[in-house]
Amino acid sequence: MLRRTSFFLFFLAVMCALGALSERAYSGLVMQQVVYEEGSPSKQQVTLYIQDNKLKQVENAGQFSPAVIFDLNSGNIIFVNDEKKLYITLNRDEYLKYIESFMSENKNAPQEKRDVKLKKTGETGSFAGYSSKKLEIYDNDKLQTEYWVSKEPGFSEEIDLDKMSKLMNEVKKISQNIGGSASISDNEYKVIQEIYEEGYPMKTVYYAPDGKGSVTEEIISVKKEDIPATEFLPPAGYEKITYQDILNQQ
C-alpha cells in the first residue's frame, strides 16, 4: 500500500513541481534523483530532463529504462517502453482517463474526514549543493509529507505555471469524484500549490498513513546544459501504439 500511495503522491509531486515553473531563459536542467524506502539498502535511480516546457523522467532500471515525457506546449504525454520498443502518445483527455482508471481501483475505499495543514518549520538544509528549507504537511495532526524546497537552481526558467496548474487541477477533480484513498481536498490542493511557490522539492519524504515506514525522493545532482530536442521525442525505430490498442487489451 505504501508503494502504491507513494506512486500516486510522486505523480502529484511531479505535477505540482512543474506547476511552480515558468518561462525559459537559459539551457536545460539534467537532475539525478534517488528513490528509496525506509530501511531498504537499495535505491532506485531516476534521471530528470527539463527544458523549454518539457520534462522527461527516466527510471534507470538496468537494461530497460522506461521513460515518460511531458510536453506542456502540446499537452501530450509520451510513454516509452524500451523492453518492447514501443511508445504511446496520449493527449490530455486520454491521459486523464488513464489516471481515472488507475484511481478507480480505490473508489470503494472508506472515506475519512481530512484536516490538511502546512507547517513552515524554519529549518534549512543542503541537497545537491542547494540551500533548501523544510516544510511539512500534516493530516489530522499526523505528519504526512516532508518537503525540502529550494529556489536556487532556477527552475522557474523552464516550465509554464498556468499550463501545469491546469493539468494538476483536472487530476485533483478526478480524484475527488472517484473518491478513495487517492482523493485530495481543496485545502490540500492549496497547500501543495503553496509549497511549490516556495521552491522546487530537492527532497521529499512520504510517510505511511499507519506510521510504518516512508518513501524518500532526493535530488543528488543538478546540471545546467543544452539538451538536444530529440531527447524529448520517441526513440527512432520504436513502434507507435494507440490508446485504443490499450483499451482492446483490457
What's the number of domains the chain is made of? 1
Residues of the domain holding 138: 2-249
Give the mean pLDDT of 92-113. 67
Q: Tell me: pLDDT of 21 over 50.
A: no
| Cα 51 to Cα 67, 74, 185, 225, distances in angstroms | 16, 14, 31, 9
Contact 86, 238 (CB under 8 A): yes
Number of DSSP helices (H) and strands (E) in the chain, helices first = 5, 12
Could you give the percent of the chain with pLDDT greater than 90?
Answer: 35
Determine the Cα–Cα distance for residues 37 and 71; give it in Å rounded to an integer: 30
Instruction: Give the up-direction half-sphere exposure of residue 142: CA atoms within 13 A in the CB hemisphere.
Output: 11
pLDDT in tens, 169-193: 566 555 555 444 444 566 777 787 7
Q: What is the CATH number of the domain that holds 136?
A: 2.50.20.10
pLDDT digits (tens, 9 = 90+) for 35-48: 999 989 999 999 99
Q: pLDDT at residue 122 above 80?
A: yes
Element holding 243 (H helix, E strand): helix 243-249
Lowest mean pLDDT across 37-41, 92-96, 106-110, 139-143: 106-110
C-alpha cell of residue 224? 545546467
| 164: pLDDT strictly greater than 70 | no
**Of 105, 250, 113, 123, which Cα lies nearest the Cα of 188?**
113
Q: What is the identity of the amino acid at 205?
A: V
**What pLDDT sits at residue 24?**
42
C-alpha cell of residue 55: 520534462
CA 208, 69, 163: angle at the middle one, nearest 5?
85
How far, in whole angstroms, is CA 212 from its chain's centroid? 23
Rounded CA separation 80/142 (Å)? 38
Calpha distance 79→173 (Å, rounded) = 23
DSSP-derived 3-state class of residue 187: helix
Q: What type of residue sits at position 177?
A: N
- In the three-class reduction of DSSP (H, G, I as helix; E, B as strand; rest coil), residue 10 is classed as helix
Instruction: Dump pLDDT digits (tens) for 50-83.
Output: 888 888 999 886 665 789 898 888 888 899 988 8
Going by their DSSP bridges, the two strands 239-241 and 54-60 should be labelled as unpaired
- Inter-CA distances, 207 with 4, 79, 218, Å: 12, 28, 15
